[in-house]
Every structure is written in C-alpha cells, then in structure tokens.
Chains A and B, each alone.
Chain A
C-alpha cells in the first residue's frame, strides 16, 4: 500500500461517538487508544477493499458491489458482521427506492397537470435505468480520477 493509513482517517468526533455508544455510560476512552482505533478502522477498510476487489476481479467485474464486500468480510473472518450488513443493505435499498418513488410520484403529478393521457409505465422503467446509469457514471467520473 502506497498511501499511509494516517492520511485517510475518519473524523475523530464520529469515531468517538461510535465508541461511546458501543460502551456503557461512564466509560471513557483516552486520546491514544481512540486514535489507534480510528487508524485501525482505516486499515480495516483498506483491507476489506483489497479483498472485495479480489472477488470482483475473480468475477471479471469492474465495479465493486455489495456482495464483493460481504465476501471480503467472510474472507477476513468477520462473519459475525454479515447478517447485520445484509440488514443494513436492505434498509439502504429501501430508502433509496423510497426516494426514487417519491421523486417519480412528483413527476407523475406534474405530468398530470399538463398532459396525462399516456401510460407512464415504460417511462418509469427508463428513468430507473437512467438514474442508475447516471449514478454509475458519476461514480466512474469520481473513481477514474486516480
């Protein structure tokens, strides 16, 4: 790894909050172990990325996907995280879908005001694909800049 993990630490405040909520009330953590945990989290993530990328390459896929990351967890012997991560992923997908549907509903409402005779079904599917492609393109734009 060429980058020093210290350059890519997470915000101290966020790490501290996560630690405090994991521990009981009244338990403190001094500065040194807190920053060590923050560095450890960065190392963990770099390691997980490395393994996830391995799985993606094995599957001859370029973008890392969620299942690659889950496979990485298994490889790193963090199976205990997998169920929770799957739950989190479902919640994330639901929220994304909800936002998408809300914005599409708004478009439909706007369309009703102007000219609403045509069925919107195919248009909705197209918008889905476009939005996904847009997100991928946005990611691509950001990711290729290495």
Chain B
C-alpha cells in the first residue's frame, strides 16, 4: 500500500495500472537559494575530488553537495570581504579586503597558508 505523501488525510488513493500512485511531474525549484542547483561545473568538482589520492569513489550526491558548498563559500567570503571594503568607503573589492576577511573570520583560517597572506608567493611557501 503506497503511503499518502501529502498527508492531507485523503481516505482513498488513485492507483495506476502498475499498482503505484501516479506522481505529479515535479516543478523546477525556484526562489529558495538553498534549493538552487549548482552553478559550478560538476566535472571540475569531480577532478578536484579525484586529486585526493585517498579518495577512490564519490557518489553523485556528494559531488553535488561539494559543488554547492563551494558556491556558498564563495558567496560568504565575498560578502565578508565586502564589509571591509565598505568600511573603506570603496565600491571595488581589493586583495586587502579579502586578506582582512580571512584574518578576521575563524572559519577562514585554513586559507592562510595557501593564499600567501604574508606576501610570499605559493611556490616560495612550498619551498621553505
């Protein structure tokens, strides 16, 4: 017996010839930012995931969630950097705004080694 999905309390369900309730066609998600499907190309996300030698397999849902998380990350860090630019009454984000945001926000601390905050290039850091 197929359970009623809507929970509206209808006593009887219509069944198709196959014995299953016929579902209405789903509508594309609109409006809610969380529901928007990812903009980042999933193939590139897969390439990044494969770059980790310890990872052998990743499900499609995991790839999608990673893409969406990276997108949220970009939005978040851009907004935080913009707060710094606003304080300087500027309308163009500059590198120092990003650096300030990374230093100010604890969650961004993992970026400090990778983005050369002290002015060294990445290759210099890797050599030292």
- A-to-B contact residues, CB < 8 Å: 1-6, 8, 10-11, 14-15, 17-19, 21-24, 26-30, 32-34, 36-50, 52-53, 57, 62-66, 68-70, 73, 76-78, 80-81, 83-95, 97-98, 101-102, 108, 116, 119-121, 124, 135-136, 139-140, 142-146
Question: Which residues in chain B, 74-125, are within 8 Å of chain A measured between CB atoms?
Answer: 74-79, 81-82, 85, 91-95, 97-98, 102, 106-108, 110-111, 114-115, 122
> In angstroms, how far is the closest chain A Cβ from the Cβ of B104?
14
Most buried by A among B35, B52, B98, B115: B52
Question: Are B34 and A83 touching (Cβ within 8 A)?
Answer: yes
- Report B's interface with A, CB cutoff 8 A: 17-20, 23, 25-26, 28-29, 32-41, 44-62, 64-66, 68-79, 81-82, 85, 91-95, 97-98, 102, 106-108, 110-111, 114-115, 122
Q: How far is the CA of A81 from the CA of B96 in the complex (A)?
A: 25
Closest 8 CB pairs of A and B: A87-B34, A84-B34, A98-B26, A63-B57, A22-B75, A91-B35, A29-B93, A64-B58
**Which of A64, A83, A89, A121 gathers most chain B CB within 10 Å?**
A64
Question: Known contacts being A30-B92, A49-B66, A89-B65, is A37 close to B114, with CB within 8 Å?
Answer: no
Q: With A49-B49, A139-B58 given, is the CB distance from A40 to B77 under 8 Å?
A: yes
Chain A facing B: main interface SS: helix
Are A102 and B107 touching (Cβ within 8 A)? no
CA distance in complex: A49, B46 (Å): 10
Q: Which chain B residues border A142 with CB–CB below 8 Å? A: 46, 50
The CA-CA distance from A78 to B110 in the complex, in Å, is 12
A53 touches B55 (CB 8 A): yes
A29 neighbours in B (Cβ, 8 Å): 78, 92-93
Partner of B50 from the list A22, A34, A146 (CB cut-off 8 Å) is A146
Q: A65-B61, A91-B29, A102-B25 are in contact. Are A121 and B19 (CB under 8 A)?
A: yes
A8 touches B51 (CB 8 A): yes
B40 contacts A10, C-beta separation under 8 Å: yes
- Contact between A44 and B115, CB atoms less than 8 A apart: no
Q: Are A88 and B68 in contact (CB under 8 A)?
A: yes
- Taken together as a complex, chains A and B put the C-alpha atoms of A126 and B47 apart, in Å, by 31
Residue among A10, A30, A76, A98 with max Cβ neighbours from chain B (10 Å): A10
